[in-house]
Structure 1
Amino acid sequence: METKSGPPVFDGYISEAEYAAQRGVSIRTCQRDRAMRKAPPHVLIGKAIYYRVEAVRDWLLRRETDFDQHHSSRSRGRAR
């Protein structure tokens, strides 16, 4: 009996090691970020962590800041 196989189940996901490598940080840093809830959404399968590429991109976009906005919000409330 011949079966059709669809796309691989993990298409669009990267491992924790790949995510860390692309960020240029250690796996331990990624673990710490997750513990502090400063990481993108992830999936735990067994003991392995995976990140959906689109979720990581969305997470990065939400953290983008404009220099002028960031700078002006820091200077508010300061006595001159």
Structure 2
Amino acid sequence: MNNQAMIAPETAQEGLLDDWMPRRELAGIIGVSADTLKRWETRRIGPPCIRIGRKVLYRRGAVRDWLLEQESRKTAGRGRAGR
């Protein structure tokens, strides 16, 4: 038997969702309400997320990318008027 087959199911699942966080956690991190994130999801203006049943999860890397996109969009819109 190989080593993979000997790993307990709960140990094998550890780390699977390490890069994902629930809506409430993200809301606390970025300082908005969970309802705001839900509204953004509906309007497709917030960070990308996935649904597993009723649970909504956000991938940390995708949230970082979304934040950087917001930053670049804001600075690109300044042009000469921002100087």
Superposition TM-score tier, normalisation by shorter sequence: 0.7 to 0.9
Identity %: 31
**Offset at 1:6?**
6.2
| CA distance in 1: counterparts of 2:43 and 2:73, whole angstroms | 24
Query: What TM-score, normalized to structure 2?
Result: 0.73
Q: What are the within-5 Å matches in structure 2 for residues 34-53 of structure 1?
A: 34-53=41-60
Structure 1 position 28 matched with structure 2 position 24: no
What is the RMSD computed on CA atoms of the aligned residues? 2.6
| CA distance in 2: counterparts of 1:69 and 1:25, whole angstroms | 24
* 1:29-49 CA distance string (max 9 Å, x none): 001111111111101011010
The letter for the 2-side match of 1:2 is: M
- Larger fraction in helix: 2
User: 5+ residue gaps in structure 2?
Assistant: none
Q: Which residue of 2 aligns with 1:78?
A: none
User: 5+ residue gaps in structure 1?
Assistant: 76-80
